[in-house]
Amino acid sequence: MNHEIVELMRDRAAEYGLNLIGAIPATAYAATGEPAESRMRAAGPHARSIIVIGNGGGALWRALKTHANTHPGWLDRDHPLDDFTREVVEQMLLPPLRERKFEVTTAYPGDPDPFNFMLLARLAGLGGPSIIGVMVHPVYGPWIALRAALLIDLELDSSGAAAGFDPCPRCTVRSCIPACPVDAVSAAGGWNVPRCIQHRVESEADCAARCHARVGCVLGPEHRYPDDELAYHQRRTLPAMRAYYDAHLSKPRSDR
C-alpha cells in the first residue's frame, strides 16, 4: 500500500507537469535545525510522512498554458503558476488520498511559517545543492522547482533520483561561472547574493530575460525552461530583490 500511494501521486501529478515526487518520514524533517514552528508542523498532529512535490523542465509551464486556454484571464492573476499548482494538488491529488481515509494537509512555499522546501527536496531526493543558488537534478539540471508538500498519516519513505546528488565539486567545466555578467558565482563562495541583487536592481535589462549562470549550467540543457517561463520567473523574483536592496544595499541619500 505504501509504495502504491507514492506511485499513485507520481502518476497523477505527472499529467500536469509535477513530475518530481519523493516522500520522507516526518521525523526526518522534524529532527533538523529548522525553526520550531516549521518543525512542529512536520510533527503533527497526524503527520507521519511528507510527500514533496516539484517540477522538472517545462512540462508544468506547458500544462499551465493549456489550462489557461480554457480559463480566460488565468494568466492575468497575481500568481497564475502557484494558483494552478494549488488547483492540481487540491483537485487531483488530495481526493484519492481522502477517499482512502487518509488524513492529509497541504503546505506551499508561500505559506506563513513555511517549510524549508530546499531542505525538503534534499531529504526527499528531488535535488541537490549548487553554486548558483538553485537546486539541481541529475536529469533536469537547474530546471526544477519545489511546489508543494502533503503531510499524511501514513509511513512513507521513497527517495527521488537526486538522493545524495552534489555535482558542483566534481564539475570541471563550470561554465556557469563566466556566464554571470557580474561575477556573482564562484566555485569557492557559490552564489554572491548581494552582488547579484545589486546588479538585478540597478541594471535590470541585463538579466531581465534569464539568469545567465543558470542557463550556463552544463546539466540538463535540453530541459531548460521556455523563454517566456524564464522571463516570468525573473519578473517574479525582482520585487523581493528590490525590497532586499532597499533594506540592505542602497546608499542613504543625504539631505540637501
**Which pLDDT tens digit goes with each residue over 37-47?**
776 666 667 88
Q: Is 92 left (phi over 0), alpha (psi -120 to 50) or beta?
A: alpha
C-alpha dihedral sign at 23, 226, 223, 230: negative
Q: Contact at 8 Å (CB) between 30 and 6?
A: no
**SS3 assignment, position 150:** strand
CATH architecture of 2-152: 3-Layer(aba) Sandwich (3.40)
pLDDT in tens, 188-243: 999 999 999 999 999 878 899 999 999 999 999 999 999 999 999 999 999 999 99
- Put simply, whether the predicted model's pTM sits higher than 0.85 gets the answer yes
pLDDT in tens, 82-120: 999 999 999 999 999 999 999 999 999 988 878 999 999
Where are the chain's structural domains?
2-152, 171-249
Closest by CA position to 159, among listed 9, 14, 20: 20
pLDDT in tens, 38-72: 766 666 678 899 999 999 999 999 999 999 999 99
